[in-house]
Amino acid sequence: MTHRRWFNGLRSRAAIGVAVFGLVAGMTLATAGTGAATAGAATKYTITLIPGLTTDPFYITMHYGAIQEAKKLGVNLNWAGATTWSLELQVPVVKSVLASKPNALLIAPTDDVALFNPIDQFVKAGIPVIAVDTTLKNTSILASAISSDNYQGGEAAADAIAKLSHDKGQVAIINVEKGVSTTDLRQSGFLWEMKKYTNMKVVAADYDQDSPTTAETLARGLILSHPGLVGIFGTNLYSAEGAAKGVDAAGAKGKVFVAGYDAEPAEVTLLKQGVINILVIQNPAEEGSLAVQYAYDFLTGHKSMIKHSVYLPNVVATTANAGNPMVSAYYYKTSA
């Protein structure tokens, strides 16, 4: 897999194409001084990263990658966001960041429609915006959108479940909520790929509102109502963890295979135990690193270096290869 500079220092750019904020309820803020300005630079730029939530190891790993690139380029990197995934909490953070007037904004929008107008205020103020992980339905205002290939990730999950179940049986999806660009694409990819398997059928696509407890309840219900169930695809961390615990509690471990997304510590533990059987792993550190680089390119007049859309490839981990260093190198961090 390419795009691994934060692991091995070999990424080629050609190959892949604050001020103090007012207190906001549910918001955390960190500011990192990231070294001296690049030699000869007249301006030391400030870039702010707003994650989907600050407590998720996915975004913590993204922050880590962004910090490393900021240090290299000699820019200030600020980090601000809510501690839970919430449109209502993210919007005040966005407004607070706008008031601080950073030179560039990196953001994982928690809603692909509702965040358009708040983000557009940055663009109208002459501040370039790069979406990371999630994006907007209307990307015209973005300098770039960087994400993993979520559609392909859904396809990979479908293929992996089909392989484990010998291409037979019923499968279900437990998703987060409608209107999240990444998980919508994962579901679409899964549904499309499942059409290849004529002896398999998708019997449900439920939503857990990002609650592992709800996902566990849904998984138990699916097992009871569909005796032919052989697989569940949880489209994010909480969906996968909840589905796995539901399968385990129902005594269906080894009979109902669970494919999940991401590689946070609890998921990796469940993967090694065989409670989760498959993880589609993203590269959030590279997303953060590339976003900082693109913001710097924009600010220093090198817009031709920026790709409007970037989709980084995924790594598929299974219980069988969970200890392989080539796979475990992609497991997420719990601190930046």
pLDDT confidence of residue 179:
86
Residue 177 CA to chain centroid, in angstroms? 15
Beta strands in 9-168 (DSSP E): 27-32, 46-50, 76-82, 104-107, 129-132, 144-148
User: Cβ(60)–Cβ(265) under 8 Å?
Assistant: no
The per-residue pLDDT for 257 is 98
**DSSP β-ladder status, 129-132 and 144-148:** parallel
The pLDDT of residue 264 is 92
CA trace torsion 91, 94, 98, 104 (10° rounding): -150
Residue 96 near residue 21 (C-beta atoms within 8 A): yes
Sequence-separated (6 or more) residues with CB below 8 Å from residue 278: 157, 160, 161, 164, 257, 258, 259, 260, 271, 316, 317, 318
Tell me how far apart the alpha carbons of residues 322 and 332 are, in angstroms, rounded to a whole number.
13
Q: Report helix, strand or coil for 140.
A: coil
* pLDDT tens per residue, range 96-117: 999 999 999 999 999 999 999 9
CB 175 within 8 A of CB 240: no
d(CA 149, CA 203): 25
Which residues of the chain fall below pLDDT 50?
1-29, 31-42
- Helix or strand (DSSP H, E) at 309: strand 309-312
Domains of the chain, each with CATH number or no CATH: 5-142+283-312 (3.40.50.2300), 150-281 (3.40.50.2300)
Burial class, 255, CB count within 10 angstroms (exposed 0-12 / middle 13-18 / buried 19+): middle
Tell me, what's the pLDDT at 181?
86
Tokens representing residue 297 in the block:
């390119």
Which pLDDT score, from 0 to 100, does residue 23 have? 31
- Those residues with Cβ within 8 angstroms of residue 98's Cβ, 6 or more apart along the chain or in another chain: 118, 121, 122, 125, 127
For 107, the token pair is 């953001």
What does R_g of the chain's alpha carbons equal in angstroms? 20
Q: How far lies 141's CA from each of 59, 108, 114, 129, 136, in Å?
A: 23, 14, 14, 8, 9
Under 8 Å CB-to-CB from 229, ≥6 apart: which residues? 169, 170, 171, 172, 203, 222, 223, 252, 256
| Other CB atoms within 10 A of residue 336 CB | 18
Model confidence pLDDT, tens digit, residues 194-214: 999 999 999 999 999 989 999
Structure confidence at residue 43 (pLDDT): 73
Distance (Å, whole) CA 254 – CA 89: 40
